[in-house]
Amino acid sequence: MAHRPKRTFRPRRADSSDSDGAQETFAEPGATGEQAARDPAVEGPPSGRGHAEVAELLRRGRGRRRGRAWASSRHAARAAPRLDESSESRMVDLSADEEDGEHHSSESKDDQSSSPNSSRTLEDEFSSVVNIPDAAVMQATYRKCKLARAQEDYISLDVKHTFTNSGMKKNSEDSESEPDDFKDIMPFTPKPQTLRQRMAEETTTRNEETSDDSQDEKTQDIWEQQQMRKAVKITKGQDIDLSYSHESQTVKKFDASISFPPVSLEIIKKKLNTRLTLLQDTHRSHLREYEKYIQDIKSSKSTIQNLENSSNQTLSFRFYKSMKIYVENLIDCLNEKIISIQEIESAMHALLLKQAMIFMKRRQDELKHESAYLQQLSCKPETSINKSLAMDEKTQWILEEAESRRARRRQARVLSGNCTHEEGTSSDDELSSADMIDFQKSQGDILQDHKKIFEDVHSDFCNIQNILLKFRQWREKFPDSYYEAFISLCIPKLLNPLIRFQLIDWNPLKFDSIGLKQMPWFTSIEEFIDCSMEDSKKEDSSDKKILSTVINKTVIPRLIGFVEFIWDPLSTTQTTSLVTQCRMILEEHSTCENEVNKGKQDLLKSIVSRMKKAIEDDVFIPLYPKSAVENRTSPHSKFQERQFWSGLKLFGNILLWNELLPEDTLQELGLGKLLNRYLIIALLNAIPGSDVVKKCSQIAAYLPEKWFQNSAMRTSIPQLENFIQFLLQSARKLSRNEIRDELKEIILILVKIKALNQAESFIEECHLDHLRSVIKE
């Protein structure tokens, strides 16, 4: 066997950026062609294991350059079979060296001993820096290898050797046609592929990259299946080797000699019956579920139909929502307008109060100045006859104004035919023309502003009838919620501003004032209550209290204001109108006793207080010497007569409150404080005669008949004892003077006030038997 020549290694520098070929190591001049042919093999790994490791490192290097592993990216699968041309060139060199190593066994031993070092060197090189030559360098190396094979079957180390273009093209065409032997060593391919096959595969892969996502997924799945089949084949091969090595201890093969249990028709029938039973049970469970679903569907349809037919919840929700919005808007409107209502109400009250104060002050000034003037005349009798006592201009002007008003009233009574009127019973509430014009102008301005308050408001929010209609609809549609919400307590509060608005121009002291029953708000509330009684058919319906609550909360406070500040108890017209309004309020509409009683008591207290004040401030009956009052035309007599009849008028006005005020309160005011304290004293100072009897008859006419309706009464009420004694005293004087007509009148007065015992005693005393028939009648 020929000895192998000595191998010479020279270091070579690989430059991947050189497009004409890398600078390689040169052999010594004396080196043979065989050595030159073997030298390239020194550059690569000397064994098959080294080739596999290099190929694996190349794949890992390319994998690190392309991104993540293929298991997490679908594009990595297409990159796995593709190798750059530079890696193919490196594989060619490795394949050639491997063939030389197989022909020389001695070299194989050396290579095997050096393979670990070479592998570690390459691994370190690829792990640290992966520097893959470009395509131009790989193509040049590839042409050089093919040319050496064609000539001398070795690779020349002479880099200066050049080839012709034609030769290169021919070699390139030959290289394309001949198969690639180095593909046999690639572990991840099933069999070698030629360059044409690889190029076709690469072209197909590039076309697949431009296809849509569905084609990519299909290709990916095919490739994965191929790889899995390869892995399964390799695993099966290893298992077979292991089974051979372990003498088939871990693998159990199917033994055809084993016999199965016999199968009969009964066994098959039994199994079929068992299967049929299971299916029937499953079917029955499905039927039960089906019936349940059918029942649920029917129930749902029935619920839907009921909701569609009734739709109570939807209607109630819509109604409650609309009612809520309406009430909120109504409250906002009233809150905004209540300020204007209060201002107009206060202005009207102030105007009426101003007028009442004018009358009261004028009466008190007249009384004061005339009383002082007459007192001066009483002190100087010589001047009282001639009326020549000097007086100041103010007193003179006041007295002249009062006399002129009395003259106008007398003239008016004469024209009307009223000749029974007594001086002092007039209210004296006339205004001058200037004051009247001023009052009417101010009142007109207030009423004009009063009309503008709700001129910009819709009728649904300012008309009481429309407002009550909304609540009436609620009561008719949803009565339960209506009564549970206590709407009967809310309605008076909502209507309070609107009722006060209508009461601004209402004066209960005027004889021609409209009654509460004729007012629009009153009739609307009455209709609402009547409908409530028809709808609920309950006697204890809470809506019945609405009217009484409105009167208690709205009307009575306004009446109290009139009584305390504007009402003049000396005016019969004002008292009569006020009594009429109060009688209607306190008697006919006392349906809710507990609520109305409080307002009623407040109103009655104010009435009693005002009458007490009138008795104390306005009643003044002077007492003059008989010489001063004997002359009926004297100023003292006239003044005394006017004041007596004024007090008697107040007495009659007080007794008009009969059946409204308690009897004991009324008797205390009329009889105790006024009759016994003022009127009886004035009568005792008067000269007995027809005038005194006339005054006593008027006193008896004012007394309420209700006080004397008891037929068993023989004695009058205790507060009239002084009056009865005065009547008896006057009767004795008249009997001595034989004035029978006035005497009979006195007996009739005693009979009227139920002083029957006193009348009979007087008849027996004076022997007036002809008057006994008067007592019997």
Lowest mean pLDDT among 76-80, 135-139, 398-402, 529-533: 76-80
Lowest mean pLDDT among 262-266, 476-480, 738-742: 738-742
SS3 568: coil
Quick one: pLDDT at residue 391?
A: 66
- 95, pLDDT greater than 60: no
Q: Select, from the ranges 113-117, 119-123, 200-204, 643-647, the one with the highest average predicted confidence (pLDDT).
A: 643-647
Tell me if 651 sits within 8 A of 679, measured CB to CB: yes
Containing 775, the helix (H) or strand (E) segment is helix 772-776
pLDDT band at 61 (very low <50, low <70, confident <90, very high): very low
Of residues 767 and 169, more confidence is placed in: 767
Quick one: pLDDT at residue 466?
A: 93
Judgement on whether residues 703 and 655 belong to the same structural domain of the protein: yes
Lowest mean pLDDT among 123-132, 477-486, 721-730: 123-132
What does the pLDDT average to over 166-176?
43
Q: Could you tell me the residue range of the domain that residue 344 belongs to?
A: 318-378+392-416+429-618
Quick one: tokens of 694?
Answer: 């006339």
Lowest mean pLDDT among 91-95, 536-540, 724-728, 742-746: 91-95
Judgement on whether residues 593 and 695 belong to the same structural domain of the protein: no
Instruction: Say how many residues make up the chain.
Output: 777
What does the pLDDT average to over 680-691?
86
The answer as to whether 588 is a domain residue is yes
The answer as to whether 753 is a domain residue is yes
| 601-620 confidence digits (pLDDT tens) | 899 999 999 999 999 998 99
Lowest mean pLDDT among 33-37, 328-332, 412-416, 437-441: 33-37
d(CA 402, CA 701): 29
d(CA 611, CA 564): 10
d(CA 705, CA 57): 138
Judgement on whether residues 612 and 653 belong to the same structural domain of the protein: no
Of residues 29 and 146, more confidence is placed in: 146
Of residues 217 and 680, more confidence is placed in: 680
The answer as to whether 747 is a domain residue is yes
| DSSP state at residue 21 | -
d(CA 464, CA 524): 7
The answer as to whether 194 is a domain residue is no
Which DSSP string do the residues of 579-642 spell out, in sequence order?
Answer: HHHHHHHHHHT--SHHHHHHHHHHHHHHHHHHHHHHHHHH-------HHHHSSTTSHHHHHHHH
Judgement on whether residues 524 and 608 belong to the same structural domain of the protein: yes
How many CA atoms within 13 Å lie on the side-chain side of 215? Answer: 9
Judgement on whether residues 577 and 467 belong to the same structural domain of the protein: yes
The answer as to whether 704 is a domain residue is yes
Quick one: pLDDT at residue 535?
A: 60
Of residues 761 and 96, more confidence is placed in: 761
Quick one: tokens of 33?
Answer: 């062609």
d(CA 747, CA 762): 9
Quick one: pLDDT at residue 252?
A: 53
Tell me if 99 sits within 8 A of 49, measured CB to CB: no
Judgement on whether residues 412 and 359 belong to the same structural domain of the protein: yes
Task: Say if residue 168 is exposed, middle or buried (CB neighbours under 10 Å; 0-12, 13-18, 19+).
Answer: middle
Task: Say if residue 426 is exposed, middle or buried (CB neighbours under 10 Å; 0-12, 13-18, 19+).
Answer: buried
Quick one: pLDDT at residue 35?
A: 41
Of residues 684 and 217, more confidence is placed in: 684
Quick one: pLDDT at residue 184?
A: 45
What mean pLDDT is reported for the chain?
A: 75
The answer as to whether 357 is a domain residue is yes
- 691, pLDDT greater than 80: yes
Q: Which residue, of 575, 595, 618, is where some domain finishes?
A: 618
- 125, pLDDT greater than 90: no
Of residues 18 and 291, more confidence is placed in: 291
pLDDT band at 109 (very low <50, low <70, confident <90, very high): very low
What does the pLDDT average to over 199-213?
68
Q: Select, from the ranges 69-73, 217-221, 360-364, 709-713, the one with the highest average predicted confidence (pLDDT).
A: 360-364
| 551-602 confidence digits (pLDDT tens) | 989 999 999 999 999 999 999 999 999 999 998 887 766 555 554 478 888 9
Q: Which residue, of 572, 598, 618, is where some domain finishes?
A: 618
d(CA 143, CA 693): 168
E runs forming strands in 45-164:
none
Judgement on whether residues 610 and 646 belong to the same structural domain of the protein: no
| 228-269 confidence digits (pLDDT tens) | 888 877 765 555 555 545 544 444 555 666 777 788 888 899
pLDDT band at 537 (very low <50, low <70, confident <90, very high): low
Quick one: pLDDT at residue 647?
A: 92
| 269-278 confidence digits (pLDDT tens) | 999 999 999 9
- Write a three-state SS string for 484-503: HCCHHHHHHHHHHHHHHHHC
d(CA 115, CA 552): 121
Quick one: pLDDT at residue 765?
A: 80
Quick one: pLDDT at residue 108?
A: 40
Judgement on whether residues 374 and 506 belong to the same structural domain of the protein: yes
Judgement on whether residues 603 and 639 belong to the same structural domain of the protein: no
Judgement on whether residues 584 and 634 belong to the same structural domain of the protein: no
- 198, pLDDT greater than 50: yes
| 281-292 confidence digits (pLDDT tens) | 999 999 999 999
Among 256, 329, 327, smallest CA distance to 470 is for 327
- 62, pLDDT greater than 60: no
How many domains would you assign to the chain?
2
Q: Select, from the ranges 143-147, 368-372, 694-698, the one with the highest average predicted confidence (pLDDT).
A: 694-698
Could you tell me what percent of the chain has a pLDDT over 90?
A: 31
Tell me if 747 sits within 8 A of 776, measured CB to CB: no
The answer as to whether 557 is a domain residue is yes
Q: Residue 661 carries which side chain, given as an amino acid letter?
A: L
Quick one: pLDDT at residue 534?
A: 64
Tell me if 127 sits within 8 A of 152, measured CB to CB: no
SS3 431: coil
For the chain, the 3-state helix, strand and coil shares in percent, each to the nearest 5, are 75, 0, 25
Judgement on whether residues 712 and 740 belong to the same structural domain of the protein: yes
Judgement on whether residues 724 and 679 belong to the same structural domain of the protein: yes
The answer as to whether 696 is a domain residue is yes
d(CA 43, CA 554): 120
- 33, pLDDT greater than 60: no
pTM of this structure: 0.60
235-255 CB burial, b ≥16 within 10 A, e <16: eeeeeeeeeeeeeeeeeeeee
Lowest mean pLDDT among 179-193, 362-376, 645-659: 179-193
Of residues 396 and 773, more confidence is placed in: 396
Quick one: pLDDT at residue 104?
A: 42
Containing 170, the helix (H) or strand (E) segment is helix 165-177
Q: Which residue, of 593, 618, 643, is where some domain finishes?
A: 618
Quick one: pLDDT at residue 214?
A: 65
What does the pLDDT average to over 698-712?
86
